[in-house]
Amino acid sequence: MTVADQSVDERVWRSRPVGAALTHGQGLAGVLILLVIAVAGIAAPLLTHYGPNEQIEGANLLGASAQHWFGTDQVNRDVFARSLHGIRINLVIVLVAVPVGAIIGSLAGLVSSINSVADVIAQRIFDVILAFPLLILAITLVAITGPGVAPVIAVIVAAEIPLFGRLVRTTVLKVRELPFVESAEVIGAGRWWVLRKHVLPNAVEPLGVQIALSMSVAVFAESAMSFLGIGVRPPDPSLGSIVAGAIPNLDANPAYAIGPLVIVSALVLSFLLIAQGLGKAHRI
């Protein structure tokens, strides 16, 4: 390793606290957007007096108005109320599925960085999962289970496992090569002690970036699956299925599509901004 390489490594590994990344610049913007949307979802009953499945007398495909912010749909439901409840389902799925996938994937990556037999098996499993484009994987899985919240979570978990597995494996192998870890091993540090004291703390930050990135993908995955009719089952509201319902009615009520589309994009963007903020933090 040359001196130049070492200085690059130092820049990569010296960290700024995660907290600072989330209270400045892009990270802050992402957190704020996410908070606004999440609060709107949680406070849905306070923000609108219509239920997500309540049919309003005589309100068929109305355009946006002060009464109905996103107008109404083809069966007289308030699209704004449905979108707010769609946020809830979306965020619950994202916040359950990504951490579960991250934990399983990281453990698999950790095991495969230690044991060579496990490594071969894990790599083949990762390869097979990665051979399926996300939505094709989703369709394959839903063919057995039928649509629903659980299959959406299962698809996201399955898609995340190889990403986290590979990330943790390469991080662990890279950190183990670093001079200070090698020196610790030379003076007799045990394998587990090195893992706990040096390797894991260094893996936390790339993991943070990946979790934020995965959450943005998961927001998309849930809404895309529901859009295709293989996600959240109607009549439960999902941002994706609302958009699917809006397509034949674009000329009658454009807000029916635009409203939920803006929310989905803002959610994806917020997680991307957080990921960028965290990514910058661990490069400074």
Partner 1 sequence: MIRYIAGRLPSAVVVLFLASILIFSVMRLVPGDPALALAGPDATPEAIAAIRHSLGLDKSIPAQYLTWIGDVLILDLGRSFVLGGQISDLVLAGLGNTAVLAGSALLLAVVLSLVLSVAVVVWPKKWLTSVVNLLNTLSVALPNFVTGVLLVLVFAVLIPVLPSGGVPPGGYLARPDITFQYLLLPSLCLALPVAAALTRFLSEALRTEMAQQYVITARAAGVPRWNLVTRSALRNALPTMLTVLGIQTGHLLGGAVLVEAIFAWPGIGQLIEQGIGRRDYPVVQVLLLLSVTIFVLIQLLTDIVHAYLDPRIRIGGQQ
Rule CB under 8 A: say whether 142 interacts with partner 1: yes
Give the binding range for partner 1 (CB under 8 A) out of 72-80, 105-113, 202-210, 243-251.
243-251
- Residue pair 38/87 in contact (Cβ under 8 Å)? The answer is yes
Instruction: For residue 111, give the amino acid letter.
Output: V
Rule CB under 8 A: say whether 121 interacts with partner 1: no
One residue of 8, 150, 265, 283 binding partner 1 per CB under 8 A: 265
List % helix, strand, coil for the chain (3-state, nearest 5): 75, 0, 25
- Residue pair 85/52 in contact (Cβ under 8 Å)? The answer is yes
Rule CB under 8 A: say whether 197 interacts with partner 1: no
Which stretches of 131-235 are DSSP H helices?
134-145, 149-177, 179-186, 191-194, 200-227
Instruction: For residue 279, give the amino acid letter.
Output: G
Q: How far is C-alpha 42 from the geometric centre of its chain's CA atoms?
A: 19
One residue of 243, 274, 278, 281 binding partner 1 per CB under 8 A: 243
Minimum distance between the CB of residue 200 and partner 1, rounded to whole angstroms? 29
Burial 250-283 (b: 16+ CB within 10 A, else e): eebbebbbbbbbebbeebbbbbbbbbbbbbbbbe
Nearest to 241 by CA among 250, 256, 231: 231
Rule CB under 8 A: say whether 23 interacts with partner 1: no
Rule CB under 8 A: say whether 133 interacts with partner 1: yes
Give the binding range for partner 1 (CB under 8 A) out of 77-85, 89-97, 138-146, 181-189.
138-146
Rule CB under 8 A: say whether 61 interacts with partner 1: no
One residue of 8, 11, 54, 124 binding partner 1 per CB under 8 A: 124
Rule CB under 8 A: say whether 135 interacts with partner 1: yes
- Residue pair 243/118 in contact (Cβ under 8 Å)? The answer is no
Rule CB under 8 A: say whether 257 interacts with partner 1: yes
Where on the chain is the footprint of partner 1 (CB under 8 A)? 124, 127-128, 131-136, 139-144, 146, 216, 220, 223-224, 227-230, 240, 243, 246-247, 250-251, 254, 257-258, 261, 264-265, 268-269, 272
